[in-house]
Amino acid sequence: MSGYDDISRATVELTAVIITMRDGEPCVLAVDAPDRSALALPSGPLQSGHRTLQAGVRSWVEKQTGQELGYIEQLYTFGDRHGRALAVPHHRTISIAYLALVCAGDDVASDTRPWRRWYAFFPWEDHRSGRPSASGPLLRRLGQWARKSGRLNDPDCRERVGLTFGIGDTPWDEERALERYEMLYEADLVPEAASDRGDEAPTTKSNPAGVPMFSDHRRILATAISRIRAKIKYRPVLFELMPASFTLLQLQKAAEALSGMSLHKQNFRRLIAQQSLVEETGELAIDTGGRPAKLVRFRKEATLEQPTPGVRLKATRRGAYP
């Protein structure tokens, strides 16, 4: 009987991760949390007036941000009991997250829409110039946590840290963004871990753990980053974020920004050419700061000509960090 009662008191929360490229950086649309305690993703409960789940999430996004969405896809369903759900006995919040990509130039530059760089939330994920400075203090604290956990009940904890963060002989894997956030949460190194326990999160002037988010929204955003970084290799996700025409350098910079990796220029261009992913428009970009560059556009026929028309990234730096 109690099981049925628990189900009847469940709340379905609809959450949207909306990504665009702005000034060469991947950005996410964020709003103030209901209690204004932190930044949040656009979200709201499923209501009786919502014809479908997608209709509900579109309604909340437009109401909270004014941003109209094109294609969206379901990202993940989160049903773990933590945070707000733990504060309400016999209540379960089921969060259904959706991912939307907004093409650069499609009215994303409005100051009324709070686009935030996603590396502000995950500073340890940006390896375009090598290991970021935020990683140093986090890895030291992770090492201390791993040594303590190894003595207690997790003898493989130090190995897990190495595999997840690309230490020693293990290369950095950009697709493990969610695993890295989950490990930092497990090690109590992100403010959300303290908040979910009902404790006050410590405040410091410089937080290597990045900007916290409301409830489990940073976990949802980490899931989206992992999804995009994986999907970019076998679907034309990168081009969905580009304007109608662009230069090959702009395309490479966007790929580097999304993956958080530095890419080899000639190898990247060879890959694009081998798969016939773009075609020339016959026009030149003259605002390059140097010689005019050819403008290209995505070849839509590529999706019909090959099963996986993605950009199989190969980083300039493939070795592990010490």
**pLDDT given for residue 52 in this prediction:** 94
pLDDT interval class at 106 (50, 70, 90): low
CA dihedral 213, 214, 215, 217 (to 10 degrees): -50
Average pLDDT, the chain: 86
pLDDT tens for 208-220 read 899 999 999 999 9
What is the per-residue DSSP string for 155-184?
TTHHHHHHHHHTBTTSPP-GGGHHHHHHHH
pLDDT tens for 259-298 read 999 999 999 999 999 989 999 999 998 877 678 899 999 9
Domains along the sequence of the chain with CATH: 2-119 (3.90.79.10), 124-209 (no CATH), 236-305 (1.10.10.10)
pTM flag (> 0.85): yes
Contacts of 290 (CB under 8 A, 6+ apart): none
Residue 235 pLDDT exceeds 50: yes
What are the residues facing 93 on neighbouring strands? 11
Task: Evaluate whether 179 touches 164 at the Cβ level (below 8 Å).
Answer: yes
**pLDDT given for residue 36 in this prediction:** 85
The winner for highest mean pLDDT among 36-40, 54-58, 86-90 is: 54-58
**pLDDT given for residue 111 in this prediction:** 53
